[in-house]
Amino acid sequence: MNDIPFNRPSVMGREFEYMQTAIDTHMHLSGDGPFTKKCHKMLEEALGVPKVLLTTSCTHALEMAALLLNIRPDDEVIAPAFTFVTSINAFVLHGAKPVFVDVHPDTLNLDETKLEAAITPNTRAIIPVHYAGVGCEMDTIMDIANRHNIVVIEDNAHALFAKYRGRNLGTFGSMASQSFHETKNFICGEGGALLINDTSYAERAEIIREKGTNRSRFFRGQVDKYTWVDVGSSYLPSDMLAAFLYAQLEERAKIQSIRQRIWTFYNDQLQGWAQANGVGLPYVPDHCEQPYHMFYLLLP
């Protein structure tokens, strides 16, 4: 019997060339080097996002979001009951109370019809998770959030370049987190990004990411020296990782095509078996464009 790998990253050929360039040419191997800036620009343009900041993980992107919201003990954060621990841990770290809302049985996304009943005066944020890269019902979620003045932070770890009603996922909420972990479509081993749609968070996000300093402004020549100005941590990935990631993002259409072919093969070949055994296959609504990130089975 042949082994079928759970996940096999697509390495397209220029990853090592760009890493060598980072070493030989730029000699900037710490954070925010030339390849990091290239990744920022490419993602901002491709997604139509005003600000992207690469981070050391999707987890750290969500931790930055929690800091940007000044999450405090007894604040409540709503998330789907079926998700990875990171979606809520980033907020629990600051004492927030998790409030879980059940998911749809077909997409496994947060059930927006049950969302409003979970809101209280202490609700600070809603974290929709686009499971397997299939979009949550963002029109309804954003309408509810706006009426209650609650911030939406999309967990977009599975859904880079996926769309909901023709619009890129990760562009609906005030912020979104992204993952470039080895198991994702586009990788750098370990890595992530914070997508910032509400630009009022942008300057402070740079500060939090740079250990609570205004170092980014210093490197742009906006201040004559940098200093400690806020809370923060070190969330910058090495430019070596960004070099690897940039090669991946350049070939995003080819990588998506590979994953689409594999996903479609599974879907076609398993239809008869699934129907005969009462097993559910992935469901993608017509108004969603998926990135073919994950193929799952729902057992009876």
- pLDDT value at residue 212: 92
Q: What is the mean pLDDT of residues 32-52?
A: 98
Domain at 15-251: CATH architecture? 3-Layer(aba) Sandwich (3.40)
- pLDDT value at residue 253: 97
At 63, list the tokens. 């931790």
pLDDT tens-digit series, residues 150-165: 999 999 999 999 999 9
- pLDDT value at residue 224: 82
Q: What is the mean pLDDT of residues 95-99?
A: 98
- pLDDT value at residue 12: 93
What are the residue boundaries of the structural domains of the chain, listed by start? 15-251, 254-289
Give the pLDDT band of residue 5 (cuts 50, 70, 90): confident
- Global pTM reads 0.95
Query: Is it the case that residue 225 has pLDDT exceeding 90?
Result: no
- pLDDT value at residue 217: 82
266/277 Cα distance (integer angstroms): 16
Query: Is it the case that residue 1 has pLDDT exceeding 70?
Result: no
Q: Which of 14-28, 107-121, 228-242, 275-289 has the lowest average pLDDT? A: 14-28
Give the pLDDT band of residue 296 (cuts 50, 70, 90): very high
Give the pLDDT band of residue 182 (cuts 50, 70, 90): very high
pLDDT tens-digit series, residues 75-91: 999 999 999 999 999 99
Q: What is the mean pLDDT of residues 138-153?
A: 99
Give the pLDDT band of residue 60 (cuts 50, 70, 90): very high
Give the pLDDT band of residue 26 (cuts 50, 70, 90): low
The mean pLDDT value of the chain amounts to 96
